[in-house]
Amino acid sequence: MRWAKDPQERHVFWLNGLAGTGKSTIAQTFSGVVAKNGTLGASFFCSRDYLNRKELKNIFPTLAYQLACRYPAFRKQIIRVIKRDPSAAQNSLISQLEDLIVDPLSFTKISCVIVVDALDECVDDQPASAILSVLGRFVKQLPSVKFFITGRPEPRIRTGFRLPLLEPFTQIFLLHKVKLSSVDEDIRLYLQEKLTAVAKRRSDFDLSDPWPCDKDLTALTKKSSGLFIFASTLARFIESEHHEPDERLQLIVTLPDSTVHEGRAGIDPLYTQVLVHGFSDIGDVTLFANLRRVLGAVILAFNPLSRVQIAEILNIKSSLIMANLRHLHSVLLIPNGDYEEIRVFHKSFPDFLQDPDRCSDSKFFIPSLFHHADMALGCFELLKKLEQNPCNLPDFVMNRDVPNVTELLEDKVGGALRYACSHWAMHLRSSPAGDDHASRLITSATEFLKENSLPWIEVMSLDNRLEGVIHSMNNLIDWLGAVCEFGCK
């Protein structure tokens, strides 16, 4: 880990990423490094699974206790505080921080690192993290102390780090922006160490040497897609004491596109926790319906879409999209820009949302057939806006003679409509072949082909996707065949 160039300018470091249900691998590693070189003063690992580790009031007293154990000079100051006020550990957060941490550290001039891991796991009903709010008041008084804080980017955490008193002294490290090849190397090493230990421990099975082999390690690393929590879930699934390790391993590597086994083994509870915790204060049925529409568009789009594109396709306000997604920064990459693409961190999240056996809460379950139909209908509504010669080109001009075609299409047609041109038929083919959806889709498709097919072909030609017209017609024919088959039953 590398600090800011000027250590006096940054006193708080936030590791922003997907936290796991167990100890954060990276925070553990960092704590080990600073402990080894003698700079770790104290640490606190938050966990909503344990009462004494999910309450904010326990953080500063625990840190103070550890600092007192490590530094005799600090210990003398804490003894004086406790003699003066025996209930100091039960006071308000701001009093705890001032009396138990700030004043003793300021007096002793101790230089150290303090780690708070998985801050999002603590119960906190404040709009901005209460811990970060009080820390911002005193951080300037501790120039020789560095706070290393990890956590999922939930709204109150993000708001806390944006507070004017704290933001100037904070440096943020985004895990999803770390070079993937570097992360893959670490994940591969982690899996190798964990599974080699399994091979040594499970002497009751005849495992190959080495186990796992290089090919299987590569497959497991690729499947993890840069997420340590997913890698740890893989390891837990394979090392089950009640199953044969190699049999469990082969279940994973022979089904590279499936995340069912890992999901049920440990990743699904994490996704459930993120969703339930993020939307616990919402009871409006309409709001959940909007949430499912937005999530459906994010996970079912055939290429990533921006919030502006999603808003146009679904015909909703862009602000509504952000209101729905603001609690999901730990499972979705949600950029600040309106025109930047929203992406999922790992394939297991869309898999989870679309499987009723895994996502058992109907408020979050995404039935893909109906949401593909929703996307197809949205595409048809956009396609109705196409007019003859949408890019205002001269008669008989050749595509190769049109300068800056991509910029021209973006300006005259737009990203959402270009997506609709390319992918309406793919969404249609994945839609229900019966019920009211099929009737509405047939009507919309008929109107589109009668009124807007020529400008659609022109856009596809300019976008160098003319072969997509043939594929779209084939998808339409296949879906209509399914509709006829459904009607005959």
- Report how far Cα 346 is from the mean position of its chain's Cα atoms: 8
Dig out the tokens for 400 from the structure.
């190769």
pLDDT at 29: 52
Q: Which secondary-structure segment (H or E) carries 135?
A: helix 130-138
Taking Cα atoms as reference points, which of 316, 319, 263 lies closest to residue 293? Answer: 316
Give 393-433 as a DSSP string.
PPTT--GGGSTTHHHHHHHHT-HHHHHHHHHHHHHHHTS-S
Q: What is the pTM of this model?
A: 0.64
Question: 461-466: long-range contacts (C-beta < 8 A, 24 or more apart)?
Answer: 461/399, 462/391, 462/399, 462/402, 462/405, 462/408, 462/409, 463/405, 463/409, 463/418, 463/421, 463/422, 464/399, 465/421, 465/422
Edge-first strand order for the sheet with 112-117 is 40-45, 112-117, 145-151, 12-16, 170-174
Residue 86 half-sphere exposure toward CB, CA atoms < 13 A: 0
Would you list the DSSP string of 354-389? H-TTT---TTT---HHHHHHHHHHHHHHHHTT--SS
Do residues 66 and 88 touch, judged by C-beta distance below 8 A?
no
Per-residue tens of pLDDT for the chain, all 489 residues: 223 333 345 666 766 655 433 334 555 555 555 555 668 899 998 887 677 888 899 999 999 999 999 999 999 999 999 999 999 999 999 999 999 999 999 999 999 999 998 898 888 888 888 999 999 999 889 888 999 998 877 888 888 999 999 988 888 877 667 777 888 888 899 899 888 888 888 776 777 778 889 999 998 888 887 777 778 777 877 887 767 888 878 877 877 666 766 666 667 877 887 788 778 777 778 888 999 999 999 999 999 999 999 999 999 998 888 888 888 877 888 888 889 999 887 788 898 999 998 898 999 999 999 999 999 999 999 999 998 888 888 887 887 888 888 888 888 999 999 999 999 999 999 999 887 889 999 999 999 999 999 999 999 998 888 999 999 999 999 999 999 888 765
Give residue 437's pLDDT: 85
CA distance 109 to 73: 10
* pLDDT at residue number 1: 28
- Residue 284: DSSP 8-state: -
Nearest to 226 by CA among 270, 194, 268, 178: 178
How do 343-344 and 332-333 pair as beta strands?
A: antiparallel
